Amino acid sequence: MLLGARLYRTNPGKHGLLIRHWLGSSPGRSDNRRLRQHAPSLSSTAASNSLIEEMANFGGPTFLKRTLGLQEDRYCQYIGPTTDFEPSLINLSPFDPQDESLLARGTLRKVSDYDTFLMLPDAVTPGYDHQFDDVDEIERLVAPHGRKLLRLYFEVVHPGFPILQKNVFMEKYDRNCHEFSPAVLAAVYILAVNWWDHSEELSKYQRPNIRELERLIRSCLADAMFRPKLSTVQAGLLLSQRPEGDQWAPTAQLVAIAQELGLHLDCTHWKIPPWEKGLRKRLAWGLYMQDKWGALVHGRPSHIFSSNWTVQPLAPNDFSEGDCDENDIEGRQEIERGRTLFAQMVYLSQVLAEILETFYTLQAMQNVAAAGPQGTHLVLSLAKPIQLKLKEWYAALPAAIRMDSAFLSSTLSSNRLSSIGYLHLAYFATEITLHRRIIRALASDSQAIDPYLEHICRSAAKARLISAMDFVNRLTPQHLRAFWYFASKTNFALIGTFGSLLWATSPGREEADWYRRRLGEYRWTLSVSSKPGESHQLTEFAMGMLDISTGLLKKLPEKPELSRTGSAVDFNNAGRRHSLLSMGMSSFAGDTFSGINSADISAAQSPGSPIDSSDDEDYDYETFSPTGGMASMRS
């Protein structure tokens, strides 16, 4: 939602220029740009009850006072409870019918009984006079394909990542592209160019100069840091979805900008337009996802904490109506599927956040270490409720976003790309993140762990690996060429990393060889998917990481050769099982992995999986042969 002319401001000074990490170091801005008189604001027309009409006539003074984070000539700063503004004194200030009060320092804007913002002018911030020229230069770089690129963006990216509002965006573009923030307009173009060859219209022409677009957006975002608006967050989130755009420092900056705008707050009862409430919630949860998945893939502490997060769950009315032509039934279904996908990804990110907080913070790791011999049991007891959440979440997934055979058939018969793959891959990455911690705990305390319990946990981990590899093997070109969430590149790699961990911790040569063969097959699947185009960087990165981890494994001491009977666990030993249950050691595995059958476990987690095994050593390796599944369709 890039509304309002020149929408893009970012935090005054305090955020610095970390934004340039998104695209590398920023060259200096040319000093010889001509300054241009700002175009007159859009004429103030009579207010309409229509959302589209209200936003289309955004430039009038009435609408400028209604919105908060997308005003044409002002930006807002949230006034927190510990600043030099005393909340109880703010209430003594005289507010006009627009809930504003003019002070020497700026204009107070009260949006609720408890939340107040300071409104400041754009005109005194660096780079303000260059905005029209920035937009003109961006348009020149993509001309005459600007509108086609926008259509491509809303066809491929928007359904699976709905942080803009299509109808308003296109209407404003048709009327006057200078109404946009240059940063967000450039971000849309840069992202859309990734699917240049997907468009029959565009593939016949030479691609725009992406390097020049990147240079320009660096300077635009650097300027925007001084006058943050909601469009600044949009631009940052979009840039982070680029194959090389998921660096950690800009995420920290984006969180700071969002807090400046009050995106971490509950805006349900604020005195702002309903469409802005929906936009704020979508952006807030988009930022939450960015923070949590960024923390996972970079191995860094998260910046968003539940104690300072009151954003309400997404509801259907938080999404824009009119994103698709009512006569385009298939397009409308794709939009609805994308909204469901986005909402489910938000919930999955909350489960991931719980895993990171429970197992991967410094305090959490210290707690396990301090538990000594009981550390593994502590890990299992903490993991059990989270595993149940994941199991219930997967079982309740709406049919429209499942990877079942019916949907695969409809995908194959359609020319539309489908982004549902990134959600399922994220699910496997979340499962793997949980089970990695369990396997590490087992390996660090192998002498004190009962072999039966160890076998339960390793069988469960093995089932997750099998299901994840099977999922990748069944991806179709319509999935691989679609939009993938930024963390997907690393999530593909995590499957190989998990397999390498299980290989490294295998008790015997036979099991280690099994994982070695499976990882070899997984690399083959990735290589089939690695073709020039939209998906090659996803799988190319995973192959590189797999080569690194398997290379390190060659330095492992040779595993002992265990006989089949010597390595097997007697599952009929009821006495041992009763002993474990009485000590609470298998409470995690008992409910979640009942049956100890990899086939049963995996089938429950990955509907439609061809896995069928009753024992670790009897697993049918040919299920994942290069000629099986959907992998053969990618060649």
Of the residues 323, 348, 376, the one at which a domain ends = 323
Number of domains in the chain: 2
CA 563 to chain CA centroid, nearest Å: 45
Residue 224: Cβ within 10 Å count: 33
> What pLDDT, in 10s, does the model give residues 109-131?
999 999 999 999 999 999 899 89
Is residue 351 pLDDT above 90, yes or no? yes
Is residue 611 pLDDT above 80, yes or no? no
Average pLDDT over residues 249-277: 95
State residue 324's pLDDT score. 64
Strand partners, 470: none
Angle at 302 between CA 299 and CA 308, to 5 degrees: 170
More confident residue, 574 or 337: 337
Of the residues 296, 323, 350, the one at which a domain ends = 323
Lookup result for tokens 């005054």:
12
In a domain, 468, yes or no: yes
Where residue 557 falls among pLDDT bands split at 50, 70, 90? confident
Of the residues 300, 323, 346, the one at which a domain ends = 323
Cα maximum dimension of the chain: 86
State residue 168's pLDDT score. 77
In a domain, 407, yes or no: yes
pTM of the model: 0.83
In a domain, 101, yes or no: no
Is residue 343 pLDDT above 60, yes or no? yes
Strand partners, 100: 109
Q: Please tell me whether residues 445 and 313 are part of one structural domain.
A: no
Tokens of 143: 């001309």
Q: Please tell me whether residues 315 and 396 are part of one structural domain.
A: no
Where residue 8 falls among pLDDT bands split at 50, 70, 90? very low
State residue 535's pLDDT score. 52
Average pLDDT over residues 199-210: 93
Q: Please tell me whether residues 317 and 456 are part of one structural domain.
A: no
Residue pair 66/99 in contact by the 8 Å Cβ criterion: no
> What pLDDT, in 10s, does the model give residues 50-93?
444 444 444 444 443 478 998 888 999 999 999 999 888 998 89
Q: Please tell me whether residues 393 and 256 are part of one structural domain.
A: no
Is residue 564 pLDDT above 90, yes or no? no
Lookup result for tokens 């807090």:
259
In a domain, 97, yes or no: no
State residue 289's pLDDT score. 98
> What pLDDT, in 10s, does the model give residues 389-446?
999 999 999 999 998 744 545 545 567 889 999 999 999 999 999 999 999 999 887 7
Angle at 422 between CA 419 and CA 427, to 5 degrees: 140
* Cis amide prior to 610 (ω within 30 degrees): no
Is residue 498 pLDDT above 50, yes or no? yes
φ, ψ for residue 100, nearest 5 deg: -125, 150
Q: Please tell me whether residues 56 and 184 are part of one structural domain.
A: yes
> What pLDDT, in 10s, does the model give residues 152-192?
999 999 999 999 988 778 888 888 888 889 999 999 999 99
CA atoms within 13 A on the CB side of 256: 19
CA atoms of 111 and 107, how far apart (whole Å): 13
Q: Please tell me whether residues 270 and 393 are part of one structural domain.
A: no
In a domain, 248, yes or no: yes
In a domain, 521, yes or no: yes
Query: How would you class 515 by CB atoms within 10 Å of its CB: exposed for 0-12, middle for 13-18, buried for 19 or more?
Result: buried
Q: Please tell me whether residues 404 and 305 are part of one structural domain.
A: no
- Tell me the pLDDT of the chain averaged across its residues: 79
Listed residue (552, 497, 546) closest to 524, CA to CA: 546
Q: Please tell me whether residues 396 and 543 are part of one structural domain.
A: yes
State residue 409's pLDDT score. 54
> What pLDDT, in 10s, does the model give residues 511-552?
999 999 999 999 999 998 865 545 557 889 999 999 999 999
Q: Please tell me whether residues 145 and 272 are part of one structural domain.
A: yes
Residue pair 9/72 in contact by the 8 Å Cβ criterion: no
Q: Please tell me whether residues 515 and 391 are part of one structural domain.
A: yes
Is residue 146 pLDDT above 90, yes or no? yes
Residue pair 143/27 in contact by the 8 Å Cβ criterion: no
In a domain, 98, yes or no: no
Domain that holds residue 478: 386-634
Ramachandran category for residue 262: left, alpha or beta (phi over 0 → left; psi -120 to 50 → alpha): left
Average pLDDT over residues 245-256: 89
Is residue 622 pLDDT above 70, yes or no? no
CA atoms of 302 and 576, how far apart (whole Å): 41
Q: Please tell me whether residues 308 and 431 are part of one structural domain.
A: no
Could you give the 3-state DSSP secondary structure of residue 110?
strand
Q: Please tell me whether residues 392 and 284 are part of one structural domain.
A: no
In a domain, 243, yes or no: yes
Average pLDDT over residues 197-216: 92
